[in-house]
Structure 1
C-alpha cells in the first residue's frame, strides 16, 4: 500500500514474465544484520517445500494461502511463489512445450489465456476468492483481506508512484496526499483504495445491500458511496421511494453499449425542505458509516452545522441545501473533515449573500459572476452603495487577498529563524503546523532551496489562559514595512459604542425585555485566502522544514483591515436585510442586542462561527467584559484586573528600563482593551504613546522614563477600585437631567473659581517658578477638577454634574478625555482619580464668557464686586486637590 502522503514506503521495480517492470507494494524491511545466513537459507527451503507440496497436491490452494500468511511471507515472496506455481503447472499441462511453439504463427502474439502472467493472475484470484469471502465475515472495515489480494494481483494499480519516477522527482510523493499525522483522512483513502477494484466493490456492494436499513439504497448509489464519490441527494430521494427498482445498474449490451432503463436514468426528486434533506442525509450518512465507520462522529457534527443553517434561514431552506451540496462536491474532489467550518467559509458566505428561487437547481455560478449578469436576480449585496468595494472583497474571497503591499522585493531575501522557544511553545507550534497542513492552509514541506523573492518570517507563541496563539512576525521580517500604516488602520466598535446603542434602546423601548447576543468567528484570519503571489512571501519554518502559508496570518499589518472589510459586508447584510439591531464588531466578535422574543441569532448561524461561543442572555461576557442589561453596567472580570496589574508590573521593572518596542506595543494593546470598560483611564496611556511615537523597529529598545512609570503606576493602583461603565449614564443625559450645575473659570493673573447654587469658591494662583508654570488651559481644567473633588466629599454627592465653561479647549479635551501635552493630561488624571472610584458622571458644555459672569468675577478676584452683585451667595476659599496631580505638577502653583 502507499503511505499517507501518497509516496510508496518501500516501492521497488519487479520483473514481470514479459520483462516489464512493476511497482510492488511496500515490503517488511529485511535487514541481513538481523538474520543469519542459516536463517535465510532455512526460510528459503521452507518456502520451496510449501511450493513442492502444493505442486504435488499434498496441500490445497487454500492451505497454501494459510501457510504463506502464517509464515508472514512478504508480498514479494508470495508473488514469487505464485509465479513459480503458475509456470510449473502450465509446463506440466503443456508437456514442457516451449512457450513460443505450437500452432501459433510466427510473429503473432499469444493470447492472454496462454500467457504465464495471465495464468498467474487467474490462479491468484481463484486461490483467494474463497479465502476473501471468509475474511469478509470479520468486523467490517478490516482491510487485511483486501490488502493481501492487492499484493497478489499486481496488474491492478495500487496508486503508488513508480520508484523510477520518484528517483528523478522525489517531491511528487508529497503532492496531493494528506499529512501523515491526519489518521482520519489517511484511513478514508486506504479504504477507498482497497475498494476501488471493481470485483471487490461488486462483492462488497452485494453484501451491503443485505443490510437492514430504514431506507434501502439502490446498487448504483451504493457504488458511489463505496467509492467515496459525490452522491446527488435528488437521486437518493427518488430511490428511497418504495416503487424504485434497487437493482438499477446498467446491463451489458453488445458492441460496448449498456442498457439503462429510462426511468432509472432520469429518476430525481427535488430536495426542497429541511425535512426532505434530513431524511435523505440520514439515508446517505447511515450507508457511509457502514463503509467508512471512522467517519461517524464527523458526519454527525457536519449534520449539526447544516441544521444550524436551516434554522438560521427558516424561510429559505434552499440555502442550506445548496451549501451542503457545494461542500460535499468539494470533498469529493479532495477529502477533508466535513465538520471543519473553515473549509465551508466561502460556500457559506456566497450562499448567504445570494438570492434563492424555489427551484432546487439554482445556478452554482460564483456570486461575482451572478452580480455581473444583468438577467440574474440581484443579491442582497447588489444594492450595497459601494459596489467596487463589494466586488473587491468577493474577488479576494475567491482568488486571494493582496495585503496592501507597496514595498520592494529583493531577489536574495535573508532567511530568518524562529525565536528561541521552550518545549511547551514548540509543542504548540507543532500542533498548529499539523492542523494547518491537514487543512491545507499550509503547504506540505517544500524544497529547502527557496526560489528568488520568497521570504521567511519568524514565529512565536503567545499564551492566554492556557491557550496558545501562534504569531507570524511580519514586523521582524520586514513584510509589514511595505504596508502603509494609514492603509491598514482600522477602528473597531468599542464598548462605549455598544453602551450608546444599549442606552438608546432603553430610552426608546422602556419596559421591553432586552437580550444580549454574541457570536465569535472561528479562526478569523485563517478564513481569508492570501493572493497566490503573496503566498511566496509567507514562508515559515518548523523543525527545519519550510512551508508556504496560504491564508492571511496573525501578525500581518494588513490582516485586521482585510478581515474588517469582509465583516463589514456581513454586518451590512445583517443590518439591511435582517434588520438586526445594535450590531457591533470587535475583531472576530459580533455582538448586539435584540428583544427577548426575536430570532436575533438566525443570521449568525449561517456563518463560520464557533458553536460553543454563540450565546445570548441578559448578562453576557462580550470581548472579555461582563455586560449586564439589568444593572446597566459593563465591568471587567476579576482575573482581567489581575492580568492587567501583572502586565504593568512586569513592564515597569524591565531590566535597565529599556523594554523592546514590541513590549511597549503589546502593553498598549492590552491597556487599550481595558479602556472599553474604563474609558476615563485613557490619560494613563498618553505619555506611553508619546514615547513610542514615530518608532518602527520592534526589537529596538525604548527607554522607560519617569513620566510613563508614574502614569502606568497610577492606572495600576486605580484598577481594583474601578466600577466599570454605567452605559445608561455615561455622558448620555440631557443638561436638564443634571443633579448639579457648576460654573467654572480661571485667570492666570487671578485664580481658579467655581460656583453652584449659592456657593462660590475661589483659589488665588501663585507662581513660585515662572519658568515652569502651567498655561491657562491647565487652570481652566483644574478648576473643574477642584469642583469635582469638593462635590465628591459631600455627604450625598450628586450623581450627574453639568459643568459650564467659556473655554472651548477645555470642553474639547474633556469630551475626548485625551490631551496631547503632559500639562493638560495632568488634570485629566486627577479628574479620573475622582470619577472612576465614585461613579460620578459629568458633562462639560461651552457658554460664552458674558453668560458666565459669576465664575469670571471670582477668577479675577473681584470679591467685593461679586458680594455686592450676588449678596445671597456665600464666598469661600478652597484648597485645590494638588495631591491628585502627577508629582511634577503639584508645586507649580
Structure 2
C-alpha cells in the first residue's frame, strides 16, 4: 500500500527544480500540477512531515513469516514514507492548481469551540503542521472541517469533509482501488463461536472488546497527499489519514490486518476478530490475566492483545477496553452463553424509520451518497437479518455506473418494492437471532431432503423418503428464459410445496431443517448468498417469505448430475425413466409460486 505503487511521482525532501529539469515541449497540466506540488513541499519542508506512531521496525520483525511479503513491504513502506490514498493528483485540466473549499461556518458555538480546540490538540500531537497563511501555497487544496456526533454518543468527532464541492479530494480517489476492506462481522464470528460451542457446550464465557485510540490518525500520509488536505480553522497541513477520505478505511484495514495476523499466527491467540478499530472475541470466564497499566484483571486474550499493541506503539484508552458475560459489539448485543444476538430496540426503530424516510422521499430521488449509506446500513443489519439480503438487489442495480457522490438517482418501483419488503419483515421481527438454530449438518440432521432439476421443457423435484415426485412445464412467459431461472424457480417451488403441504398444520414454534439438492451450481450460489440480479431476485424474496413464515432453515447443496437422475427425468417429463430409477415413485403436477412470475403475493 506504499505510495509508489499508486503515485509514481519523483519526490525527495531536498528536491529542487531547475531550468534543466523543464521537459520539452511544455509539460501537460498534470505534469505541471505535480511539479508545483513538489516545489512547494521542497521549499516549505517544515509544513510537510511524516509522523511515525506505530513502531515499524518491531512490526516488521513480527511479519517475517507472513505469506505475502510484497504486501507486507508495501504497508511498511507506507508507515515509513507516508501512505498514498489511491488518489490521482496529477489531475485533468478541469481541476484548479490550488483550491480553497475551507470556509464552512460551524453550526453552533459548541462545534466551533470543539474544532478550534481539536486543532490545537492535533498540532500538539504532531499530526497537524504549525499554522501558516493566510493564503494557500501553490498546489494546496483546503478542506472543510466539521464536527459530527460520534455514534451512540454525545461526543463530537473532527471530520475533514473531503467529499465537499466540485473539486473534492474524494473525486480524485480511485474508488475501485479504495473500496472493499473485508471487515470481520457476525458472519465470521458466529461460525467460529458455534465451532467452539460444539467442543465446549457447557463452558462459561465472557465477551471482550478492545478499541484502538484514534485509529486512522496513526497512519502518516505522503507529503504529495498532505498538500491536498490542508485544513482551515486556521491554516494547517494535515499529516495523517482522515476520517473523511475514501481511501482511509482500506489503508487502516491493511495495517490492522497485519496486526491481527500477528496476534493469530505469531502470538497464537485464537478467534480474534476485528471491525475497523474494534477487536473482539470471547474467553473462558475463569481465564483472566492482570494488566498492570490498568491495574485490573481482564480476559486473557484481551490482555495479550493489549500487550501486543503496547509493544507496537498502538494507543488505547482504558474506558474502551470492556468485557462482560454479554456485550454490545458493532451494534449487536451478543450473549455467548445464551447463544443469542440481539439488535437493540432503539437501533432497530432507527433503521426502520430511516428506511421509511428513504422510500417516501417526495422527490423520488436520492443522491448516490445516500444510496450508499442505505446499502451500508442494511449490510450492517444483515449481520443478523441474513435472510433479508435480497432487499439490495435493485438498489445495487440502480446505482451501477454512477460515480459522483452528489448525483441524483431515481428511486424506481423495483427499488421501492425491495425496500418495502425488507421493512415489513423488520417490523415483524423480534430482533433476536438464536445462534444454535444455525448449527446443523444438512447431510445428517435435516428433517427432509429434496432433489430438484430443470430443463427448458419443465421442472421437477422429488422427496425420496416419501417417494413423491412433482412436475410442471416451464412458465410460458417468464421474466427471463434462461435455464438458471427455471432451476432457481424449481428450488423455490420445492420449498413452497414442503411449507404448504407438510408444515402448514405443524407447531409454528418448531424450526424445521430442509436440505434441497440441485445440480446447478449457480442456483446453489444464489441461495447460499441470497444475492441475485434483479430478474432472479423475486425468486429469492419468495423463498425468504416462506422460510420466515414457516420457520424453516434451508440449505441448498450441489449434487452431481449423474446422482440427480430422478429429478432430471421428471423435469424432462419422462415418468417411465423416473420410476425406473425410483421404483414406487408417484408423480404429481405442481404449480410454481406465482410471485416470481409477476403475480402479487397473498
* Aligned counterparts, 1:654-669, within 5 A: 654-669=361-376
Secondary structure of residue in 2 paired with 1:498: helix
Superposed displacement of residue 613, structure 1: 2.5
**Whole-angstrom distance in 2 between the partners of 1:622 and 1:482:** 34
* Aligned counterparts, 1:537-686, within 5 A: 537-542=228-233, 545-598=234-287, 599-606=300-307, 607=309, 608-686=315-393
Question: Is 1:500 paired with 2:191?
Answer: yes
**Whole-angstrom distance in 2 between the partners of 1:650 and 1:431:** 36
Q: 2:182 aligns with which of 491, 498, 505?
A: 491
Match in the other structure for 2:82: 400
Q: 2:220 aligns with which of 529, 532, 538?
A: 529
Match in the other structure for 1:817: 530
Q: 1:844 aligns with which of 539, 553, 556?
A: 556
Question: Is 1:698 paired with 2:405?
Answer: yes
**Whole-angstrom distance in 1 between the partners of 2:494 and 2:112:** 57
**Whole-angstrom distance in 2 between the partners of 1:780 and 1:618:** 46
Match in the other structure for 2:127: 441
Superposed displacement of residue 710, structure 1: 0.8
**Whole-angstrom distance in 1 between the partners of 2:325 and 2:455:** 50
Match in the other structure for 2:24: none
Secondary structure of residue in 2 paired with 1:659: strand
**Whole-angstrom distance in 1 between the partners of 2:114 and 2:489:** 52
**Whole-angstrom distance in 1 between the partners of 2:65 and 2:392:** 42
CA distance change for structure 1 residues 779 and 724 in 2, over 3 Å: closer, same or farther? farther
Superposed displacement of residue 870, structure 1: 5.5
CA distance change for structure 1 residues 767 and 637 in 2, over 3 Å: closer, same or farther? same
**Whole-angstrom distance in 1 between the partners of 2:565 and 2:512:** 26
CA distance change for structure 1 residues 759 and 455 in 2, over 3 Å: closer, same or farther? same
CA displacement, residues 294-353 of structure 1 (integer Å, 9 cap, x when unaligned): xxxxxxxxxxxxxxxxxxxxxxxxxxxxxxxxxxxxxxxxxxxxxxxxx9x93xx53xx8
Secondary structure of residue in 2 paired with 1:649: helix
**Whole-angstrom distance in 1 between the partners of 2:232 and 2:551:** 51
Match in the other structure for 1:746: 454
Q: 1:480 aligns with which of 145, 170, 173?
A: 170
**Whole-angstrom distance in 2 between the partners of 1:594 and 1:405:** 41
Secondary structure of residue in 2 paired with 1:832: helix
Superposed displacement of residue 492, structure 1: 1.1
**Whole-angstrom distance in 2 between the partners of 1:585 and 1:683:** 26
Q: 1:890 aligns with which of 563, 574, 599?
A: 599
The answer as to whether partners of 1:740 and 1:798 remain within 8 angstroms in 2 is no
**Whole-angstrom distance in 1 between the partners of 2:275 and 2:248:** 14
The answer as to whether partners of 2:565 and 2:578 remain within 8 angstroms in 1 is no
The answer as to whether partners of 1:758 and 1:874 remain within 8 angstroms in 2 is no
**Whole-angstrom distance in 1 between the partners of 2:359 and 2:58:** 52
The answer as to whether partners of 2:519 and 2:561 remain within 8 angstroms in 1 is yes
CA distance change for structure 1 residues 844 and 768 in 2, over 3 Å: closer, same or farther? closer
Secondary structure of residue in 2 paired with 1:801: strand
**Whole-angstrom distance in 2 between the partners of 1:687 and 1:404:** 29
The answer as to whether partners of 2:87 and 2:173 remain within 8 angstroms in 1 is yes
Secondary structure of residue in 2 paired with 1:634: strand
Secondary structure of residue in 2 paired with 1:656: coil
CA distance change for structure 1 residues 584 and 367 in 2, over 3 Å: closer, same or farther? closer
Match in the other structure for 1:457: 143
TM-score, normalised relative to structure 1? 0.53
Secondary structure of residue in 1 paired with 2:523: helix
Q: After superposing the two structures, state which structure 1 stretch, 804-813 or 400-409, moved more.
A: 400-409
**Whole-angstrom distance in 2 between the partners of 1:713 and 1:426:** 40
* Aligned counterparts, 1:63-142, within 5 A: none
Superposed displacement of residue 570, structure 1: 1.6
Superposed displacement of residue 740, structure 1: 1.6
* Aligned counterparts, 1:32-51, within 5 A: none
Superposed displacement of residue 831, structure 1: 1.8
CA distance change for structure 1 residues 791 and 392 in 2, over 3 Å: closer, same or farther? same
Q: Any stretches of 5+ residues in structure 2 without a counterpart?
A: 1-45, 288-299, 310-314
Secondary structure of residue in 2 paired with 1:697: coil
Match in the other structure for 2:21: none
Superposed displacement of residue 802, structure 1: 1.2
Q: Any stretches of 5+ residues in structure 1 without a counterpart?
A: 1-174, 177-342, 354-365, 372-378
The answer as to whether partners of 1:400 and 1:529 remain within 8 angstroms in 2 is yes
* Aligned counterparts, 1:778-793, within 5 A: 778-793=485-500
**Whole-angstrom distance in 2 between the partners of 1:729 and 1:569:** 34
**Whole-angstrom distance in 2 between the partners of 1:849 and 1:573:** 44
- Bigger share in helix: 1
**Whole-angstrom distance in 2 between the partners of 1:628 and 1:479:** 42
Superposed displacement of residue 559, structure 1: 0.9
CA displacement, residues 99-157 of structure 1 (integer Å, 9 cap, x when unaligned): xxxxxxxxxxxxxxxxxxxxxxxxxxxxxxxxxxxxxxxxxxxxxxxxxxxxxxxxxxx
CA distance change for structure 1 residues 641 and 882 in 2, over 3 Å: closer, same or farther? farther
Superposed displacement of residue 529, structure 1: 2.4
Task: Please tell me whether Structure 1 or Structure 2 has the larger radius of gyration of its CA atoms.
Answer: 1
* Aligned counterparts, 1:249-328, within 5 A: none
CA distance change for structure 1 residues 891 and 830 in 2, over 3 Å: closer, same or farther? closer
**Whole-angstrom distance in 2 between the partners of 1:837 and 1:625:** 24
Question: Alignment length, in residue pairs?
Answer: 519
CA distance change for structure 1 residues 466 and 613 in 2, over 3 Å: closer, same or farther? closer
Question: Is 1:415 paired with 2:97?
Answer: no
Secondary structure of residue in 2 paired with 1:594: strand
Question: Is 1:516 paired with 2:207?
Answer: yes
**Whole-angstrom distance in 2 between the partners of 1:672 and 1:422:** 31
Q: Which has the higher contact order (CA 8 A, sep 6+)?
A: 2
CA distance change for structure 1 residues 706 and 742 in 2, over 3 Å: closer, same or farther? same
The answer as to whether partners of 1:411 and 1:452 remain within 8 angstroms in 2 is no
CA distance change for structure 1 residues 556 and 750 in 2, over 3 Å: closer, same or farther? same
Match in the other structure for 2:423: 716
Match in the other structure for 2:35: none
Match in the other structure for 1:109: none
**Whole-angstrom distance in 2 between the partners of 1:404 and 1:760:** 58
**Whole-angstrom distance in 1 between the partners of 2:599 and 2:466:** 30
Superposed displacement of residue 551, structure 1: 1.7
Superposed displacement of residue 842, structure 1: 1.9
TM-score, normalised relative to structure 2? 0.77
CA displacement, residues 711-734 of structure 1 (integer Å, 9 cap, x when unaligned): 111111111344555444537635
**Whole-angstrom distance in 2 between the partners of 1:857 and 1:390:** 54
CA distance change for structure 1 residues 759 and 582 in 2, over 3 Å: closer, same or farther? same
**Whole-angstrom distance in 1 between the partners of 2:393 and 2:96:** 41
The answer as to whether partners of 2:442 and 2:555 remain within 8 angstroms in 1 is no
Superposed displacement of residue 858, structure 1: 3.5
Superposed displacement of residue 425, structure 1: 5.6
Q: 1:802 aligns with which of 504, 515, 530?
A: 515
**Whole-angstrom distance in 2 between the partners of 1:439 and 1:549:** 11
Match in the other structure for 2:17: none
CA distance change for structure 1 residues 546 and 752 in 2, over 3 Å: closer, same or farther? farther
The answer as to whether partners of 1:742 and 1:754 remain within 8 angstroms in 2 is yes
CA distance change for structure 1 residues 859 and 413 in 2, over 3 Å: closer, same or farther? same
CA distance change for structure 1 residues 427 and 754 in 2, over 3 Å: closer, same or farther? farther
Match in the other structure for 1:757: 465
